[in-house]
Amino acid sequence: MSEEHTEKVKALHAVLFVADEPCDVNLLASVLQVSDEQVMELVEQLSERLEDTGLQIVRLAGGFQLATRPRYADYVQRLREPTPERLSRQALETLAIIAYRQPITRPEIDQVRGVDSSGVINSLLEKGLIAITGRKQAPGRPFLLATTPQFLSTFGLHDLSELPNLPEAERTTAGALGAPVRGLQLEETEAEEAQPPSASDEEQ
């Protein structure tokens, strides 16, 4: 391995260390000034270097991120002691519907759940787990909702193809996604159902 190549591996390590979110191949290629193929080689070589350490490279949300190994999670947890984000069962149910049926409108979500989901949707928007991606070509032009890269990172997914392959009947329940992970915590509350929407789906 040439000295220049060794420096690129070290540079990749530094870039992933300071990155706040997963970096895709195109971004890493631009930053490191190498080809996409070389990025994959550098990732593989850095992964080998990290084998006997407490760190690893993981694929999340369509990119690469430096992370601690699961067996050291307890030590990291003691240091950070984060306040877990609270996610109600109603929010998790709504998130599962959006994840499997995106892009989807609020009225369509309401129809599946049988209740007004405005408050829950606003909460998920604020948490960055979903986003408005456009408007449906239908009367009233309601907003289209879809999950975000933050959703993928939160649930430890590389892309949407890694969602559980469940029967259609199960895709309308909170069980479709299972228990939330990476700092999310279930909260037994109906409060979100009562919140008024911040933006009307019927807004032109």
pLDDT along the chain (204 residues), means of 10: 87 94 93 94 95 92 89 80 69 92 93 91 92 90 92 83 68 50 47 44 43
Please report the pLDDT score of residue 196 as a whole number. 41
Please report the pLDDT score of residue 203 as a whole number. 44
Q: Within this chain, do residues 91 and 188 fall inside the same structural domain, yes or no?
A: yes
Q: Within this chain, do residues 74 and 169 fall inside the same structural domain, yes or no?
A: no
For 63, list phi and psi in degrees, rounded to 5.
-145, -170
Structural domain span for residue 12: 3-78
Q: Is residue 201 part of a domain?
A: no
* Secondary structure of the chain in HEC code, one letter for each residue: CCHHHHHHHHHHHHHHHHCCCCECHHHHHHHHCCCHHHHHHHHHHHHHHCCCCCEEEEEECCEEEEEECHHHHHHHHHHHCCCCEEEEHHHHHHHHHHHHHCCEEHHHHHHHHCCCCHHHHHHHHHHCCEEEEEECCCCCCCEEEEECHHHHHHCCCCCHHHCCCCCHHHHHCHHHCCCCCCCEEEECCCHHHHCCCCCCCCCC
Q: Within this chain, do residues 31 and 118 fall inside the same structural domain, yes or no?
A: no
Residue 131 backbone class (left: φ over 0; alpha: ψ -120 to 50; beta: rest)? beta
Q: Within this chain, do residues 51 and 147 fall inside the same structural domain, yes or no?
A: no
pTM, rounded to two decimals? 0.53
Q: Is residue 199 part of a domain?
A: no
Please report the pLDDT score of residue 125 as a whole number. 93
Please report the pLDDT score of residue 107 as a whole number. 93
Q: Within this chain, do residues 34 and 54 fall inside the same structural domain, yes or no?
A: yes
Please report the pLDDT score of residue 111 as a whole number. 92
> The CATH number of the domain where 180 resides is what?
1.10.10.10
Q: Within this chain, do residues 74 and 89 fall inside the same structural domain, yes or no?
A: no
Say how many domains are in the chain: 2
